Amino acid sequence: MTAAIQARELRRVFGSNEAVAGVDLDVQPGEIYGFLGPNGAGKSTMVKMLCTLLNPTSGSASVAGFDVATQPGEIRLRIGVALQDSSIDGKQTGREMLRLQGQLYGLSKADITARMDDVVGLVDIGTAIDARVESYSGGMKRRLDLAMALIHRPQILFLDEPTTGLDPASRTAVWDEVRRLNRAAGMTIFLTTQYLEEADELAHRVGIIAAGRLEAEGRPTELKKAIGKDLIVAEVDGDAALAESALRAIPAIEEIDVHGSELSLASADGAAVIAEVAVALNGCGVPVRSLTLRTPTLDDVFLQVTGSHLAESHRDGPDDDSSTTEPEGAHA
């Protein structure tokens, strides 16, 4: 089976910064692929190369069977793209924006009318389609953005953090729409997200990029299972180093990671050792705010691969495209 998206040793350099450092990637037709990474890891640069908004420095990539460097026009006809930086004009109505998008793709008036009815129903814009976009809520703008990316029936849909800033109800609605597109139309979806539960809920497979390299890849359940240990998480008020020293004396604890006031302890049998942990923390005199036992999550996988929690990485600064001069966002 020919991959819907493929990259081989894909690389992009900005001056002395190697934003993408030789990535190999295969996304199969009909797959939802979740792409995760901390700020500055290279994920947005990767997406822009696949969408033909940036040329690779070296290596190769193909989308829908066409080369990103030599056949960008063929790719743009076959993909839908909803990036974080929207090109929506607030002075136009949603219907006018959809009609314009259809015209840019060369659709006939009849096709535009038919497709408009389809996508408006699909993304649940309702009567707001005839209101000016400046009156839309954040959730409604996201829905319109998605509708514009779908107007020409793309084979492959790129969604760059589609639910950032949305309330929980709107986020759930977008999740439902993504699932529906994938199941009903067999659409391949490449999804970047800062919400691990989003990747866990939607993605068939997940890739984690760090420092420009694809460091982990697989089904969410497989990635979590690979950690293979129970986790005891202790949040302390006081000297985390002192607490770590006391906990290392417990033989059943295999690993300890300290991040600020949080200590993550890995053990083959967390239920059997958590009482010892509580006694050790009490004995060293470090106040404990919380002590929890849980099985591994995608955030634990992310932490193991990148050295930070995903939420922390998105608070640290701007994403990896701040040094580029190319166009920041577009619909394709």
Tell how many helices (H) and how many strands (E) occur in the chain: 12, 14
Give the Cα-Cα-Cα angle 221, 224, 226 (nearest 5 degrees): 105
Closest CA to 266 of 299, 293, 238: 293
Question: 331 and 86 in contact (C-beta within 8 Å)?
Answer: no
Which residue is associated with the tokens 């005199």? 285
Question: 304 and 215 in contact (C-beta within 8 Å)?
Answer: no
d(CA 202, CA 178): 8
- Provide block-wise average pLDDT over 10 residues at a time, the chain (332 residues): 91 93 95 89 90 95 96 93 76 90 89 84 79 86 84 90 78 84 90 87 92 91 80 90 92 90 89 92 90 84 75 54 42 46
At 328 the pLDDT is: 37
CATH numbers and ranges of domains, the chain: 5-219 (3.40.50.300), 229-295 (3.30.70.980)
Closest CA to 36 of 259, 202, 266, 170: 202
Closest CA to 254 of 288, 305, 218, 304: 304
Residue 216 — φ and ψ, nearest 5°? -150, 145
d(CA 25, CA 218): 12
d(CA 129, CA 116): 10
d(CA 217, CA 185): 25
Residue 45 — φ and ψ, nearest 5°? -60, -40
Question: 240 and 210 in contact (C-beta within 8 Å)?
Answer: no
The three-state DSSP-derived secondary structure of 281-303 is HHHCCCCEEEEEEECCCHHHHHH
DSSP letter at 129 equals G
What amino acid occupies position 233?
A: V
* Alpha helices in 105-230, H assignment, sequence order: 109-123, 138-150, 168-185, 196-202, 220-227
Q: What share of the chain is helix, strand, coil (3-state, %, to 5)?
A: 40, 25, 35
